[in-house]
Structure 1
């Protein structure tokens, strides 16, 4: 397998991997990892062709393998890779599920792979979601027998769910299980809810290859991307084999590799706490990370750490490099203290060496990019308010309409209000009919989508007016990648980048705030951030960009780790309340919002508790006791 983009060493070869029980390779991002896997699959196909043999592939669905399939399609179209000798067996399918449904894995596989290559349709095998219930048991037996008839799987591609499932083998699955019907775990259904426009529309059952079926494959490659997978990846790679984490059964397979990106590898011992594994090359970031960790496990503040604490916890080499615990503690305490500022736009005439932001110019032009029309106040509402109060020229750019997050019930409420005001308006009657006659998770009519977008837009303006931002400083970008009318979004395109670049060029900001929260379960945050990064790359040579700093905030999903924080803005109790009121203007996103993941708390509650927790952590480390802190990390482009 091509590994030119590998950032860390493969597992199993060095002392640093001694906690790990499954070979894994960590790439800088999902794209480079996907290209490597596609290359391995292509090499296997061509090898089998040279031997005049079939190549039997087990294939996965979901977001993880999409880039692998894109690269295989590119190889077919541009390099002549043929799939004429390829036979495929898919892992799973929802049950019941019509193959023509946009939610079926039949639809997914044809959309992303089969419709674009020269595979013989007779060689495609995907579990059927329409098999009569009384025939299902025998159907599953036959599926396994058919794999066996073709000589078994040469290569099995897998993803992993947050429950540790592979395929749809949920916790409790037997290590020797075959293809069968299974009841889906609640977490699995929550994770699928975004695609089905609500958990009530997600099937409760599925057909899946069994653990035993998967383990018979000659080669297994599992893909895991993103911070959301970090915890389960650690359990799978370093934990004991257990049916509660079905993916741990892969520890028993002699030819398995996990392909990870930086985010999904973050909880592995050699990444999170490498000083516990072996000698470290200490740099500033690793040093900060280790000291914060040491405070946590010893339950001490920074200035109370001793030489003994460092020596007893694998950090003696840091003492050798830096001197005494006293020196290290003072250095770290000052570093954290200098991240705290009540002046996020910079304090005029202040010593810049002790503050995270520049003091000049006194009044800065600021763009707050918000992926959805509420991320600005949820994630940095207190900082937002402080910037306005301190006289900076604040602009807010809402990158998407957020229309898909408005429920039909909410849209109907507004439509009926309009009806009361215009009782004879036939267009309103038509709009109400389109909302009330909608069945399940079908796509909204254009008029309904427009209404939902207007609802989000006006809620946003209610919040920004409350924070005293002029209407002319509010920008609704409606980036085309998002505005598809469906849950499935397009990849970012040049037109998206151009829209963002045009706004930056017009305002010429001294500060940009952007959402760096890549744990967003429906991926919009990542695409929005990638678009901003692409725009910055195009504009970086412009003179005004020399004076533009970019700060990344995180949203309602998780916060920056303490050692990552470069600016922490304290909020008073009154500001916490003001931030809450700003969030409340987004009424359509309260009380059971559609895309809140497996966290049932409302977004304002999450935000407050997250900000309170950050403040608590700072105080526990020996710093001042604030009501709340909003955290930021600087991005260098």
Structure 2
């Protein structure tokens, strides 16, 4: 990497294509240290993190132990943090997390594992924290400290306001941190308000620090930590003071760094059509002009003079980019019949097409691409939906009780086995009442919740206009754990996906393209579709199938990435809203809303409005709303 391109980075950064490659790199760093110390007859001390970010690292270390004989007998570990209070066998306990992901699968002696104790009486915590620091020091300090980073910039549970001199202590969790943890605890109200954490000072004492981050959701805070000023409002920024720290990112998490987002302001680069589009869109947004109003001066003033040198004038570049953007817009997502499709994003033939929409949860089809879904149906295409998971854990207990009560009353009203209805209702109520905060539902309760989501999906599909037989409920096994934590993608998941594609033989596949979500449901569902497509690609009918990727409820494709933009009229946007409203269990308040308090339909509409406004600001036609897609070329 040209040093000029890293000029803004105050901590060394390594960027990998995906989280898998990045995790393998981090695991190898740890394995190399362990082997080196073994050869020297010495021990190694690791500082370990929890959360979704390091799980793949631990999986790789387990694989090295099982397949390559990597031993952990000379390793001492110290975990960063633990919720307080917290019993070690609770689902959300970091003791349980570490056992499930690492310790139960390797040969590390139990007495060499150290995790903050969430069961201590409060008056014993301070002494424990001092002893925790002393144990680390007595072993010679931490050799490699593994870190993730929170959206507030926290490392460990060192929230904004933590200083570089803070050490292991009891802390109060930031509201944003508690919201981010809500999905693990089945609701924000169940998230502990405190935690025991190693301090920023504890972390800075480590000989080597590796901080990892995956996905666009972490991109902005990574920019602040790596390129911004050192401040206690972004505790991870103190790592700029460490002499041996490395930030390990996937492409998506690096997207806000200057060398990735705007490398042309730092140094000369090799321009291609993709980079030119990205640069011109950025330039328009920076100088607040439409594409066709950009001048030679605008290009020269913003490090883009090389483009003018190559193309001769701003006008030539402007026209090129404007035409590209114009050609992405289509009111015919399935292709327009009897039309010249040279510059259209979709083929005119065949018409009508068979389209298969993969929806990770039972409502993603209408939330994320409901307008396009409606257009495809209205324009005469045969549209199928594959609902990949049941979505059962995202239903509130009250809804399950309400439906069990309906079964009881229905049986009584129509004289159908009244006793069984009453027994079933009491069983459901008892199961829910006896369930502790954050505990899994019983199989019966999960079944009810799954049926609620299925019924809502059918209502949404019927409203859009497809028959029941074109709705396919896949219930992929990776999801059906009854807990937030899922199983890895398995062969059965891929086979179920392949079978549906092979049954329909679609001309179009739509899938949730959340490529950068390394552990969420959308990411696993997309991996299943991609693997299925890969295995089927040599089939004759598959050679005429195009795959379009949409985004979930949280974000949208950047304008320069979009390859098909489907405009929606005010009436179509209202129809989309009504389709979303069919998912009543997710209306008003969703189980896992994330940090965004808006309802899903609001998020979707705001995003669709913003996409249309962005196109209009670039000088394109003004539409009410737009849905956006990127083509996946396999």
**TM-score after normalising by structure 1:** 0.97
Q: Is 1:519–1:557's contact at 8 Å kept on the other side of the alignment?
A: no
Which residue in the other structure is 1:253 paired with? 242
Equivalent-residue separation in structure 1 for 2:310 and 2:540 (angstroms): 41
Rounded to whole Å, the distance in 1 between the matches of 2:460 and 2:46 is: 52
- Taking the aligned partners of 1:520 and 1:429, their CA distance within structure 2 comes to 40
* Residues 392-420 of structure 1, C-alpha deviations (whole Å, 9 max, x = no match): 11000000000011010111122212221
SS at match of 2:253: coil
Question: Residue 374 of structure 1 corresponds to which residue in structure 2?
Answer: 363
Partner of 2:394: 405
Tell me the SS of whatever aligns to 1:464: helix
Q: Tell whether the 8 Å contact from 1:76 to 1:82 is kept in structure 2 after alignment.
A: yes
Contact 1:517-1:557 at 8 Å conserved across structures: no
Q: Report the equivalent of 1:156.
A: 145
Structure 1 residues 127-138: aligned runs within 5 Å:
127-138=116-127
Secondary structure in structure 2 of the residue aligned to 1:352 = coil
In the TM superposition, residue 521 of structure 1 has moved relative to its aligned partner by: 9.7
Q: Distance in 2 between matches of 1:323 and 1:476?
A: 55
Match of 1:628 in 2: 625
Residue of structure 2 in register with 1:443 after alignment: 440
Deviation at 1:73, TM superposition (A): 1.1
Residue 34 of structure 1 is matched in structure 2 by 23
Structure 1 position 219 matched with structure 2 position 216: no
Tell whether the 8 Å contact from 2:408 to 2:424 is kept in structure 1 after alignment: no
Pair 1:562 & 2:559 matched: yes
Q: Secondary structure at the match of 1:564?
A: coil
Partner of 1:332: 321
Aligned residues: 626
Distance between the aligned counterparts of 1:104 and 1:384, measured in 2? 42
Q: Deviations over 1:401-445 (max 9, x none)?
A: 000110101111222122211242222332233234433221101
SS at match of 2:246: strand
Q: C-alpha separation between the residues in 2 aligned to 1:154 and 1:297?
A: 44
Distance 1:77 1:500 in 2: 30
Q: Deviations over 1:57-109 (max 9, x none)?
A: 11111111111111111111111111111111111111000111121111111
- Tell me the residue number matched to 1:102: 91
Tell me whether 1:18 sits opposite 2:18 in the alignment: no
Aligned to 2:415: none
Residue in structure 1 matching 2:424, options 413, 422, 427: 427
**Cα distance per residue 1:156-176 (max 9 Å; x no partner):** 111111111111111000111
Aligned positions of 1:171-186 closer than 5 A = 171-186=160-175
1:518 is displaced (CA, Å) by 4.7
Report SS of the residue matched to 1:601.
coil
Unaligned stretches of 5+ in structure 2? 413-417
Q: Distance in 2 between matches of 1:564 and 1:617?
A: 13
Aligned to 1:93: 82
Q: After TM superposition, which residue ranges in structure 1, 4 or more long, deviate above 4 angstroms?
A: 518-522
Query: Structure 1: any 5+ residue segments left out of the alignment?
Result: 1-8
- Given that 1:160 and 1:222 are in contact with CA atoms closer than 8 Å, whether structure 2 keeps it comes out as yes
Is 1:228 equivalent to 2:228 in the alignment? Answer: no
SS state at 1:106 partner: helix
- Kindly report which structure 2 residues correspond to 1:546-585, keeping only aligned pairs within 5 A, or say none: 546-585=543-582
Report the Cα offset of residue 522 of structure 1. Answer: 6.8
Q: Is the partner of 2:535 in helix, strand or coil?
A: helix
The question of 1:490 aligning with 2:479 is answered no
Partner residue in 1 for 2:476: 479
User: What secondary structure does 2:249 align onto?
Assistant: strand
Q: Answer yes or no: is 1:304 the counterpart of 2:301.
A: no
Match of 2:538 in 1: 541
Within 1, Cα distance between the matches of 2:426 and 2:31?
Answer: 55
Equivalent of residue 48 in structure 1, options 37, 51, 65: 37
State the match for 1:6 in structure 2. Answer: none
Cα separation, 1, equivalents of 2:97 and 2:428: 31
- Cα distance in 2 between the residues matched to 1:427 and 1:158: 47
Of 359, 365, 386 in structure 1, the residue corresponding to residue 354 of structure 2 is 365
Distance of 1:293 and 1:275 partners within structure 2: 11
TM-score normalised per structure 2: 0.97
Q: RMSD of the TM alignment (CA)?
A: 1.1
> Which whole-Å CA distance do the structure 1 matches of 2:163 and 2:402 have between them?
49
Distance in structure 2 (CA, Å) of the matches to 1:47 and 1:432 = 57
Pairing 1:314-353 to 2, within 5 Å after superposition: 314-353=303-342
Q: Distance in 2 between matches of 1:100 and 1:517?
A: 32
User: How far apart in 1 are the matches of 2:461 and 2:233?
Assistant: 47
